[in-house]
Structure 1
Amino acid sequence: MTIQTVAKQLTRTTKYRLNNGHHIPVAGFGVYLLPPAETFDLVYEALLQGYRHIDSAVIYGNQKEAAQAIAQFVKDHENVSREDIWFTTKIWNVDHGYDETKKAVEKIALEVKESIEYVDLILVHSPLTNKEKRLGTWKALSEFNHNPNNGVLQVRSIGVSNYGKKHIEEILAIDGPVVVPAINQLELHPWLPRTELREYLTKKGIVIEAYSPLTQGRHLNDPELLELEHKYKIPKAEILLKWSYLQGFVVLAKTSKKERIKLNFEVLPEGQGTNDPLQEGSNLGKIDLDPNILDALDKPDSHLVFTWGGADPTEYED
């Protein structure tokens, strides 16, 4: 899909169709590093501003509070149902392996099931163990996914995070029926475009989700970015978020400030629509900054990793 096509399709309510038929909201609110005591209020505020996609993880220590906020918001707003809100969590490295992942999902259920009944997406948080454990985890998640009446927790979609081509190929090489990951969540921004990996994922029908689109604030003084900010009088954060949306990513914006939640969400125009990111579709509105202008930020040969201590997990070798 071309950047220009994506630009015509995106609105605040756009959803992308996954390879299993479910639809994920393109705009997500991430709760990484949010203190549990603050998570409820911040997630509630995100939902109030219009977000319908919350991204958590076991290791964040706040998935319970995030789920409680979703439940309270649905209770308080009769025009919003649980089905309207997407909730993601992730299996951490220490829980890799078949039996370990089974237990981890049981623990997730204890924290979130009472509030939100089911989980829309569980990701394998990283590949940083070994092939045997990774595949054991995938087998366990696949079983939960295949059997919604498993008695533990309904898991509607499964995917991966920080996986490189090698790690995806391990899954696709499994004998017998294979659940292809619905999502690969990656650090992505102009200084880490991962062009080859993105092309591979698109060919495999795996939707790409971007975290740290603002580089965790570490690269906001880039000359091209400063020039765009000065010339068009648009904040740097807004420019970077628009760049990510225009690549066709599901985008996770994170902030601990309520005023930033509103600003981040309003980067996208109002409107309604659902679209498959792997196919061209209908015109659902457009982002108000010409995609050709954002081409100035493209750095196809750059590979700056700002997370994971600078070590790229997609390149991890056992």
Structure 2
Amino acid sequence: MYRSVIFTVRFFDTARKLRIAIASRTYRRYTDRMRMILTGTGTSHGVPAISCHCSVCTSLDPKDKRFRCSAYISHRNADGRETHIVIDTGPEFRMQALAHHIDSLDAVLLTHAHADHIAGLDDLRIYSHTKSEGALRGTHRAETDESPGAGLPVYADENTISGIQKRFDYIFKPTQIGGGKPKLHLINASRFSGKKPLYIGEVRVIPIPMFHGELETTGWLLSVRDGALFRSIAYLTDCSRIPESSIETLVVYGGHIEHAVIDGLREKPHATHFSYFQAMESAALIRPHRTWLTHMSHNMSHADITRYCIRRTEDLPVLSEIAKAGGSVFPAYDGLVLDV
């Protein structure tokens, strides 16, 4: 019995890794689309949670294994130039980068400074570093070969930048000779807006102000041009309220929002996170073709959340009409690939 369980767990783990590898390789076939891979979709403690033996934490379904929230965006234009972006660097960032072959980065977007979203920040040293051995595209550098320029651009709001400077103060002090540390260029995202967007390569990026309880957080609208139209993915986690002005920005500048990834912690209300249904209500205002819940706890399994979403979609006429047109509302899962 014990050996059977071990074999089953290993089988699902191998299948999950294979699915991730295939998804990563498949991207190289595309030359004109943006892709987002959700590298983590779990809440702050992750799933399974430490010391928990509930049915979700002991589930053999690979979709019930949830790293802390993060996303990897890649785009390659017609000229073959590639753009690589990560949203949030949580505690599992190193493992996420290895699993999804994130070999280079052009920028990092942060939602806020809670540990489950920035604890892996130091691992950015591989992409940009000071006075240490690093690697870029598999090529090791000499110990004295510091990354050129101001460092890897990291975009965040003012509160997040302040939190990073306090918790990772050593990064910004000229005190460390050996051991290595990342070279980061912190940039206040508030200077950008729908009228004045940020461009990373050919990916248009617009910050979306939100509230995580009383804490201000930043969602991100990422778009690529398709003729006269922009096609977009909205990434909106950790939030318990999205201001009307931010909803307006999403609607006005989103063009065709193919995917919206929205914070949905659990079925019951929470002080600092959307419940599943609150996330769906926000989706009804934004009107994406496909809505994906993220930042999910271990309160319900992936299969149960899927059934919940199907049932509650009927209670929201806008989402019901979108579903009839081929759209959907479902829970996300680690390794989910979203193409635009």
Using the size of structure 1 for normalisation, the TM-score is: 0.33
Bigger-Rg structure (1/2): 2
Bigger fraction of residues in helix = 1
Q: Which has the higher contact order (CA 8 A, sep 6+)?
A: 1
Higher strand share: 2
